[in-house]
């Protein structure tokens, strides 16, 4: 069975092809000698229009405070039953960088703020090393806004249920770059199932924004050998932004 996304894409592809056919029939009638231009492949365009149109229209109209309050009462997935607080995101509302992690842990769930535990303190040091901070020029959030029980991995339906919030956050905040942290955020943002070793340190585009991913601070705390590649990735980000190293 086709997914909703596939169905939407083929519907749009079909519609665009029909518009093309009408336009070329008219063109032919107006200038019969003109060479026929073959119908273009509309699949990529249909996918793009489809994914933009798929954002909930209520969410697309929200300002950041409205989005935060809407998200605060969200029941789109079962994590709403077990959360203490929604962890929407925080930081500069005109950020150079938007940091996107995986999802809230115990401390984040308790306080309603992202990256406030041990991994968060480590992340603050990384940001400071390239003159970024959540108080001045960085916004921090996660791909899912509610804590999974026992900090288990986020499920596909949970990530999908939260995606509209993330999309609208990115559209409103318009960061110069996105820094994705860890396997789940990276695979989601880069639409890939490759391992972190292949995803980190390379710029991609997510929703029109240059996006680079690196290892999750919690993973680096478990394996200090990852500090070096993280530092290389952070330097690439700093170079892209034209900011100094602290
Ligand atoms: N890990 C994350 O990915 N996000 C947080 O907010 C905290 C820990």
Whether residues 108 and 215 share a domain: the answer is yes
Kindly state whether residue 246 falls inside one of the protein's structural domains. Answer: no
Whether residues 139 and 195 share a domain: the answer is yes
Whether residues 75 and 97 share a domain: the answer is yes
Ligand 1 in contact with 180 (CB < 6 A)?
Answer: no
Number of structural domains the chain divides into: 2
Ligand 1 in contact with 124 (CB < 6 A)?
Answer: no
Whether residues 21 and 132 share a domain: the answer is no
Ligand 1 in contact with 154 (CB < 6 A)?
Answer: no
The sign of the dihedral angle between the CA atoms of 191, 195, 198, 201 is positive
d(CA 82, CA 74): 12
Ligand 1 in contact with 148 (CB < 6 A)?
Answer: no
Whether residues 195 and 133 share a domain: the answer is yes
Whether residues 42 and 123 share a domain: the answer is no
Ligand 1 in contact with 115 (CB < 6 A)?
Answer: yes
CATH code assigned at 212: 3.40.470.10
| Owning domain of residue 186 | 63-241
- Asked whether the beta carbons of 71 and 88 are under 8 A apart, the reply is yes
Whether residues 107 and 166 share a domain: the answer is yes
Per residue in 139-176, pLDDT tens? 999 999 999 999 999 999 999 999 999 999 999 999 99
Whether residues 77 and 19 share a domain: the answer is no
Strands 209-214 and 177-181: parallel
pTM for the model: 0.81
d(CA 93, CA 218): 26
Per residue in 23-71, pLDDT tens? 777 777 778 777 777 777 777 777 766 665 667 888 999 999 999 999 9
Kindly state whether residue 58 falls inside one of the protein's structural domains. Answer: no
Per residue in 12-22, pLDDT tens? 677 777 777 77
Q: Looking at the DSSP assignment, which residues form a beta bridge with residue 178?
A: 98, 211
In 152-178, which positions are buried (b, 16+ CB within 10 angstroms) versus exposed (e)?
A: eebeeebbebbbbbbbbbbbebebbbb
* 23 token code pair: 């336009």
Ligand 1 in contact with 114 (CB < 6 A)?
Answer: yes
Ligand 1 pocket check: which of 88, 91, 104 to mutate, most ligand atoms within 8 Å of Cβ? 104
Whether residues 84 and 20 share a domain: the answer is no
Ligand 1 pocket check: which of 90, 103, 107 to mutate, most ligand atoms within 8 Å of Cβ? 103
Strands 209-214 and 204-206: antiparallel
Per-residue DSSP letter, 200: T
**Mean pLDDT on 73-86:** 97
């Amino acid at each position: 069975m086709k997914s909703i996304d596939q169905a939407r894409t083929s519907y749009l592809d079909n519609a665009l092809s029909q518009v093309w056919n009408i336009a070329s029939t008219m063109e032919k009638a107006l200038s019969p000698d003109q060479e026929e231009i073959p119908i273009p492949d509309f699949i990529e365009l249909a996918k793009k229009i489809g994914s933009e149109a798929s954002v909930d229209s209520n969410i697309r109209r929200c300002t950041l405070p409205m989005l935060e309050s809407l998200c605060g009462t969200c029941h789109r997935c079962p994590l709403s039953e077990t959360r203490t607080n929604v962890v929407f995101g925080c930081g500069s509302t005109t950020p150079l960088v938007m940091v996107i992690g995986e999802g809230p842990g115990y401390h984040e769930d308790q306080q309603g703020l992202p990256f406030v535990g041990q991994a968060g303190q480590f992340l603050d040091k990384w940001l400071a090393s390239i003159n970024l901070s959540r108080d001045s020029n960085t916004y921090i959030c996660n791909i899912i806004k509610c804590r999974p029980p026992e900090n288990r991995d986020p499920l596909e339906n949970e990530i999908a249920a939260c995606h509209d919030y993330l999309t609208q956050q990115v559209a409103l905040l318009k960061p110069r770059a996105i820094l994705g942290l860890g396997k789940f955020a990276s695979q989601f943002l880069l639409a890939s199932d490759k391992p972190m070793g292949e995803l980190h340190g390379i710029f991609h585009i997510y929703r029109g924004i240059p996006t680079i991913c690196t290892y999750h601070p919690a993973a680096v705390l478990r394996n200090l050998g990852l500090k070096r590649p993280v530092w290389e990735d952070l330097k690439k980000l700093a170079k892209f932004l034209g900011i100094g190293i602290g």
